[in-house]
Chains A and B, each alone.
Chain A
Amino acid sequence: MQDRLVRLEGQAISELEGVEGEAGLQQWKVKYLGRSSELAEILDGLRKLPKDERPAVGKQANQLKARLEGAFAAREQTSRAASLEYSLQEDRLDVTLPGRTLVRGRLHPSTSTLRLIADIWAEMGFQVYRSRDVETDDYNFGLLNIPAHHPARDQWDTFYTKQEGVLLRTHTSPGQIRVMRERAPEPIRVILPGMCYRYEQITARSEIQFNQVEGLAVGRNITFADLKGTLNAFARRLYGEDVKTRLRAGHFPFTEPSAEMDIECFVCGGIGCAVCKGTGWLEILGSGMVHPTVLENGGYDPSVFSGFAFGMGPERITMNLHRIDDIRYFWSNDMRFLEQF
């Protein structure tokens, strides 16, 4: 009987070594470890053996079973590893084929830039205040210290409606008066985004409609130095910590003193190029201390209150950031433009 076990083991092990694939393994398992295998037969036949032989043979047969199971497990593992390895080697993709086409929605670039600007100002405590597109002459000009026939009006080419004294706002500044009248005498820190209109030929550099973001801070002891600090903080936040800015005197009838802010052209680094029209600077916003007359028209006593205002163009900013040389792209909504964002 011992010989039989030795022979069986030799046969099983050598056969196991030659087995190929999962099916072969299972066949082998049935043959040597299955219910009707020789080993099962031996174990079943233990009862028939003489009593004194039984323990030794039983032990040997069980040990053999354990060894065969172990060998099978090991063989099964290597075989599976090999077949996995094989299938991994075989199963290859052309990773350079294009990905599945999915539709991606996008915001219009003006909206994105408006949000970018609004987010930065929100970080600085300026909330959004919106006001209407169609305005009265008074809100757009008169209350902003731009009387009829004043030379300052030349700065705004205006679309008038057929209704006397009603026009399309040329800037978001009428919102200054509206927010002040609503909030006086509370302190104010708001930005006023919105669409504005100018009577101009549509060219690569000028549009009849464009967004503007105006800002307004009104309170006690707000100074020109605060304006400079606040606007510089904004410029650094938008264009990067290292941006070089300059503030120069400008003119707006509703601010005094007035200031224009430029940043060093980030395309040429200030040497002069087509983007900055050879000046090395890009004009990014106009600003100034709110004119006493405007404060008064808004319901604030200019001897007690002061404030600053500023305005910028999201389309201009987008054009600078992405080196876009034609403002007409914005409202033409050509997918070949929009899909680049």
Chain B
Amino acid sequence: MKVPISWLKEFVEIDWPVEGLADRLTLAGLEVEEIQFVGLPIPEVHSTAAGAGQHGRSVRVSGLAWDPEKIVIGAVLEVMPHPDADRLVLCRLDDGREEHVVLTGAPNLFDYKGKGPLGTPLKVAYAREGALLYDGHEAGWKRMTLKRAKIRGVESYSMACSEKELGISEDQEGVIILDGDAPVGTALSEYMGDAVLDVVITPNNARNANILGVAREVAALTGRPIKEPSYEVPWTGGPIDRRLQIRIGEPELNPRFVAGLIEGVKLGPSPYWLQYRLRLVGMRPINNIVDATNYVMLEIGEPLHAFDFDSLVGRAGGKAPTILTRLPEPGERLTTLDGVDRSLDEFSVLVADTAGALSIAGVMGGAETEVSERSRSILLEGAAWNYINIRRTLAAQKFSSEAAYRFSRGVHPAMAERGVRRGLAMMHRLAGGTIARGLIDEYPMPPGEMSLEVKPADVKRWLGIELSVSEIADILRRLEFVVEAADDYVRATPPDHRLDIGQGIVGVADLMEELARIYGYDRIPETQISDTIPPLYANPSLEREERIRDLLVDLGLQEVVTYRLTAPEREARILPQQGPVAEPYVWLANPIASDRVVLRRSLLASVLEVAERNARIRDRIGIFEIGPVFLPTGGELPDELPRLVIVMSGPRQSKSWQGADATPMDFYDLKGVVDRLLHGLHVEGVGYVPSSESAFHPGKCAQITAGDRVLGVIGELHPLVVREYDLEAAPVLAADLELSVLSEAFQDRYPVAPVPSFPAVLEDLAVVVDERVPAEEVQRLILETGGHLVEAVNLFDLYRGEQIGVGKKSLAYSLVYQAGDRTLTDDEVADIRRKIITRLNQALGAELRA
């Protein structure tokens, strides 16, 4: 909401400088996002270096100051043709000091061309040589200094300005023509310089989406009285009573409907002062009748609608029209004033007459009864509408306007009458005519009376400050509550422009906010909670998840976090040999992009996309993500199952001047990482079972188990998947684990063995087995047979070759024999070794390698 300071000052006196005012409004909940200076001098920024803790700006500032010496009001005395150019004219202009010849191409002066000296001089904004202006012919806001130049043989050193050149609006079509009473020679900044606050209106502040509303806030903050506008109407016509009727069909949706009638108006452009205000607030002037309704809406917040009364009478066959508000008939349509033929939703209230719909209530007027150049009589509507219902209509019609914005946030029914009174008076002032005496006012649903009791104890309990009954009463009075102060409480009735104060304890909470805002958040002390400390709860899932992250980072992996929204086609990329599978997804009803339409089912696909993107900039990838996948359950909400995915690819080491191991990482690099992770989590009974998962190479994939639990899968990706992600340079290794299972397998009370006090015996053992015998089995049997005397087994060599025969492999282990209570003798070690060899031979057909 744009708020010109000059307009605000009509309703409240303001002593504070603009920036100070903006600051106070911001603290009180009307955040001022920007101050746009239109002509007035822009205050200097205070550097914080000037004083510790002193704040520089508290709001963004923009705009252009009009030099009072160089930009003044001028009077165009005569418009003359340019000797050499049809699209330019020469103006004889008086700037209060002397006469100048000013060159311009402004089309709105062409009507006066060659008509000799003007009977009524045209007042314009005259810029002298050297004035700083915006460039009217450049897009955006580019500053320029007015320089002397020769244009088509005529010397030009000054100009009459457009709104764009002065920073008032984007309009640069013609020059500004000021109202006739503008004093020639006066600095323009003094005449109409302004500063416009851009105020954020939060939903609870809807009542303040108008100049008067912001003024009320200023009054409450400063303690100055509010100067309400006059709601007097210069009645000059006959009584309105028999001229029309109003019937409200849906009082819940339309609690009040007020109408006034003004006849014999003369449509035309509004005076410049009014156009200027509309422009500053960001609205386009149309004509004096429409401008009057917009002006009143901006001023006091009640949107008004003007109907062409003669066409209503015409539709009623020359009789007094009856205005009905009702829900649409099935299939009913209306052509609105934007020319769109709209089908009407069954919940949208219509303003209609006996001949049919006239407008979508509170939203948009119909084309047929629109005010036009020919209109002479105006029926002015001010009504109250159920804002929830207006919102539904706006959503359905995909429409918004300044009026709809206000009605959709709630306007108090009391404002309907004030709006019509103010609107009639404004139309009369701008367009003449006679106002029929009285208003038609249907008010079937006035809001219920309500009041609230507030005690100093409430204030203490909610806000932690001590306010006396009289302090509470004072703040609420400043906000125009009707206040009754008793010994230990205040009874407060909200003023009739507010709909935001609730009842009971909710209402008390609402009052607490009002008290805190006006008292000042900055004055409230800082204290710490004095209540008892809550019970502490263990949080193992989070703690274990964070432990897993730390371990993976220790192992050299980079954590990534990806979008949880994806598309089935994106996830099908990990199953290229299958094509898209009809998996049940959580689908978005309103996706914002066609490639993010579902919640993911696969974390692997998300992480592979990261690998794909980074493969272009890094040859080595080592990444992981922990995050949920979303699986519909048939119930209301899907399962959200956290998973862990690791992806590795590229050379084992990055290139270095010392030489590096550039061998591409393989299955065992990833397995090493997973082993270290599981070791770090003290997961017991870990096993790797050859497995086949569609995304993986069928011969290089394993299921990871821990006892009965299946933790997930690890392997080299299927070549087709690798090709799909454009990662062909090296094998891509991936692990996909179910985090909750991993978290359950996590041991945090693992025992720690004593450090041995007797020396260990180290021995190597090499056996030859069939190729298909899994190494893990050999190792398991060694440990099992060795019992507590074999402390560790490490595979240090794997050999295949002619020496040992085709289809065979040699596995060489280093064994650590260790007893906790003595030094093992050679005989004991030899005995264990013999048992191990026998066992391996019997179970796996292993032969000791010669």
Interface residues of A (CB under 8 A from B): 97-98, 100-108, 110-111, 115, 125, 127-128, 130, 132-136, 149-152, 154-155, 159-163, 165-166, 168, 183, 186-189, 195, 197, 199-202, 208-209, 217, 219-226, 228-230, 232-233, 244, 246-251, 253, 256-260, 264, 268-272, 277-281, 289, 291-293, 302-303, 306, 330-336, 338-339
Contact = CB atoms under 8 A, between A and B. Distances in A.
A280 B56 contact: yes
A128 B545 CA distance: 13
25 contacts: A108-B560, A110-B561, A133-B564, A135-B637, A149-B391, A149-B395, A160-B590, A161-B586, A166-B636, A187-B534, A225-B465, A225-B526, A228-B525, A228-B526, A248-B27, A249-B516, A257-B512, A270-B55, A270-B56, A272-B61, A306-B461, A306-B462, A331-B563, A333-B561, A333-B610
B28 A249 contact: yes
A151 B509 contact: no
B278 to A, nearest CB: 25
B564 A209 contact: yes
Contacts, number: 295
Nearest to B555: A105
Contacts of B509: 256-257, 289, 291-292
A106 to B, nearest CB: 5
Interface stretch (B122-130, B488-496, B651-659, B686-694): B651-659
Contacts of A258: 513
B561 A257 contact: no
A230 B524 CA distance: 13
A154 to B, nearest CB: 7
B561 A224 contact: no
A280 to B, nearest CB: 4
Contacts of B524: 224-225, 228, 247
Given A208-B596, A233-B528, A244-B55, A134 B630 contact: yes
A209 B461 contact: no
Contacts of A248: 26-29, 31, 521
Contacts of A336: 617
B850 interface: no
Contact of B527 (A110, A155, A229): A229
B827 interface: no
Contacts of B87: none
A269 B556 contact: no
A247 B392 CA distance: 35
B557 interface: yes
A312 to B, nearest CB: 18
B506 A292 contact: yes
Q: List the 7 shortest-distance A-B pairs measured between CB atoms, nearest first.
A: A249-B29, A225-B464, A223-B464, A219-B531, A251-B202, A257-B513, A229-B526
B559 A107 contact: yes
Interface in B59-108: 59-61
A132 B516 contact: no
A249 B27 contact: yes
A230 B559 contact: no
B561 A201 contact: no
Interface of B: 26-29, 31, 45, 47-48, 53, 55-61, 202-206, 387-388, 391-392, 395, 408-410, 460-465, 505-506, 508-510, 512-513, 516-517, 521-522, 524-537, 539, 541-542, 546, 549, 552-565, 586-593, 596, 599, 610, 613-614, 617-618, 620, 622-623, 628, 630, 636-638, 640, 653-658, 660
Contacts of B586: 134, 161, 163
A155 B205 CA distance: 14
A206 to B, nearest CB: 11
Contacts of B409: 151
Contacts of B534: 125, 183, 186-189, 219
Contacts of B532: 187, 219
Contacts of B530: 221, 226
B658 A187 contact: no
A161 to B, nearest CB: 6
A73 to B, nearest CB: 37
B513 A272 contact: no
Given A108-B559, A136-B636, A271 B529 contact: no
Contacts of A257: 463, 509, 512-513, 516-517
Contacts of B636: 136, 163, 165-166
Nearest to B46: A271
A155 B410 CA distance: 16
Contact of A280 (B57, B526, B531): B57
Nearest to B512: A257
B469 to A, nearest CB: 19
B521 A221 contact: no
Given A223-B461, A224-B524, A101 B559 contact: no
A280 B628 CA distance: 39
A259 B27 CA distance: 9
A226 B541 CA distance: 31
Contact of B562 (A101, A127, A333): A333
Given A151-B206, A251-B202, A257-B517, 7 more contacts: A106-B558, A108-B561, A162-B589, A163-B636, A223-B462, A229-B527, A302-B505
A148 to B, nearest CB: 8
B556 A105 contact: yes
